[in-house]
Amino acid sequence: MKTEITMPVLSDTMQTGRLTRWNKSVGDAVKKGEAVAEVETDKAILDVEAFSDGYLIGPLAAVDTDIPVRQVIGYIADAPEAAQTDTGGAAKTPTPGTPPAPPSVTPGAVAEKKTAPPDKLPPATSTPAATPADSGSPEKPAPLPQPQVVAPQPPHADGLRASPYARALARDLELDILQVKAGPDGTIHAAQVLAAALAPQDADLRMGPPYTIERPNILRAAVARNMSATLNTPAFLISSRFAVAPLHAAAKTAGLSLTLALSRACALTVAEDPWFNHAWTREGLAKRSRVDVGIAVDTGSGLITPVLRDAAKRPLKELTEDWRILLGKVKKGRIYPEDYQGASFYLSNLGVFPQIERFNAIVPVGASAILAVAAAGSDGLTDFTLSCDHRVIFGADAARFLQRLGKRLEDLSWLAGGGGQP
């Protein structure tokens, strides 16, 4: 008996995972809960654990390949003699877009189905077949119907497998069919042509400098998908300038980072205006019962947003410890979806870059606002730009939010107390 090892589903948005290494070889003993492989997701590198005791057997998926979630990457057998030495599972583990091999056709099978010449065709009507009683001959079984064998579509001059309708549709839409990805069966159909026509077009780089295509890491690719998903969010921007030096000094005295202190200030302000804790959905407005603040962090290879849960009510001491743990996970690349998903409000602080006087942030899907904080200017004031989903928040709401936040940055009694809402 053997148990499948599949590519795990680690988040709602995860479609593929990149297998980065196998910790075991074919034939090695494994224990339940032991990490047998490592997978790179859109945010981190995580372990794939064995769900039973046994021995790792092949075929194993190849390292450094993107594999759809829930697809088999290897097996665990009960007995060591079941272990296979074949590790060439990459050929047996198709990656998205890999066309399957064309169906085999027996030589002569198609020729046998050719239509007979007109003079050889049977008459339109014939006498009923004689029964065994009529002919006196022993009964013979009726021949079984032969399945019709369909010949594969002959290859086109461009080498692509595409239906004639798909090619005609691509011509009508003035679309280069060479840029269309094949369907699951390895053939380009009309659906793939329409999807390519409706998708944003890639830049035409042929007239520019020579170039090579580099596959992005999973984190960068995920950021690109998430940002593309925000294109339908009708957002507006509003900004104010506040003095941050008093907050910075008070946070330092309390043993906090400026980013953590800003997160607390934002959470308390959101709690005063619940509209900023809503999210637009197709079913209606999602009203959250607590304020979870997502804080943008630069990992060096991409952007990630660890989330401080219940940031308006929990003691600052607890939030400080949570933030320390989250940053440690980010640094080690071992952060999990529950650590960075589901924020109801977002903060992006680029104040550590003195050249950044002002910037705008994109409202993430699932939130109604994000606050972008720049560096302090020569006058000691810092630009705060609030990006809002106009389906949830109106201009006057955003103005009142910044007004309350500005007052909170002047009266720092909430920071000195270290407790919940003032």
pLDDT by residue (tens digit) across 166-184? 898 988 888 888 878 887 7
State the Cα–Cα distance between residues 86 and 61, nearest whole angstrom.
11
Average pLDDT of the residues in 297-308: 86
Q: Look at residue 13 in the predicted model and tell me its pLDDT.
A: 62
Q: Look at residue 86 in the predicted model and tell me its pLDDT.
A: 43
Q: What average pLDDT does the chain have?
A: 79
Average pLDDT of the residues in 30-40: 85
Please indicate whether residue 415 or residue 146 has the higher confidence score (pLDDT). 415
Q: Look at residue 82 in the predicted model and tell me its pLDDT.
A: 60
Q: Look at residue 64 in the predicted model and tell me its pLDDT.
A: 82
Q: Where are the domains of the chain?
A: 2-82, 233-417
Q: Look at residue 146 in the predicted model and tell me its pLDDT.
A: 53
Q: Look at residue 52 in the predicted model and tell me its pLDDT.
A: 83
Q: Is the pLDDT at 36 greater than 90, yes or no?
A: no
Number of residues written out for the chain: 422
- Residue 48's Cβ-count burial label (10 Å; 0-12, 13-18, 19+) is buried
Give the architecture-level CATH label for domain 233-417. 2-Layer Sandwich (3.30)
Average pLDDT of the residues in 47-70: 83
State the Cα–Cα distance between residues 91 and 62, nearest whole angstrom.
8
> Is 0.85 topped by the overall pTM?
no
Asked if domains 2-82 and 233-417 share a fold, the reply is: no
Please indicate whether residue 69 or residue 162 has the higher confidence score (pLDDT). 162
Out of 83-97, 321-335, 404-418, least confident range: 83-97
Out of 153-162, 176-185, 189-198, 219-228, least confident range: 153-162
Average pLDDT of the residues in 41-65: 80
Q: Look at residue 43 in the predicted model and tell me its pLDDT.
A: 63
Q: Look at residue 18 in the predicted model and tell me its pLDDT.
A: 83
Pick 2-82's CATH classification: 2.60.120.10, 3.40.630.30, 2.40.160.40, 2.40.50.100: 2.40.50.100
Q: Is the pLDDT at 28 greater than 90, yes or no?
A: no
Q: Look at residue 11 in the predicted model and tell me its pLDDT.
A: 65
State the Cα–Cα distance between residues 163 and 170, nearest whole angstrom.
11
CA count, 13 A, side-chain hemisphere, 210:
0
Q: Look at residue 277 in the predicted model and tell me its pLDDT.
A: 94
**Sorting pLDDT into bands at 50, 70 and 90, what band is 27?**
confident
Strand partners, 389: 235
State the Cα–Cα distance between residues 401 and 268, nearest whole angstrom.
11
State the Cα–Cα distance between residues 374 and 6, nearest whole angstrom.
44
Q: Look at residue 109 in the predicted model and tell me its pLDDT.
A: 39
Compute the C-alpha angle 169/175/180, nearest 5°.
Answer: 90
Cβ neighbours around 365 below 10 Å, total: 15
- Asked if residues 291 and 342 have their Cβ atoms less than 8 Å apart, the reply is no
Q: Look at residue 177 in the predicted model and tell me its pLDDT.
A: 85
Q: Look at residue 296 in the predicted model and tell me its pLDDT.
A: 94
- What is the percentage of the chain residues whose pLDDT exceeds 90? 34
**Sorting pLDDT into bands at 50, 70 and 90, what band is 192?**
confident
**Sorting pLDDT into bands at 50, 70 and 90, what band is 60?**
confident
- Asked if residues 54 and 11 have their Cβ atoms less than 8 Å apart, the reply is no
Average pLDDT of the residues in 375-382: 93
Q: Is the pLDDT at 307 greater than 60, yes or no?
A: yes
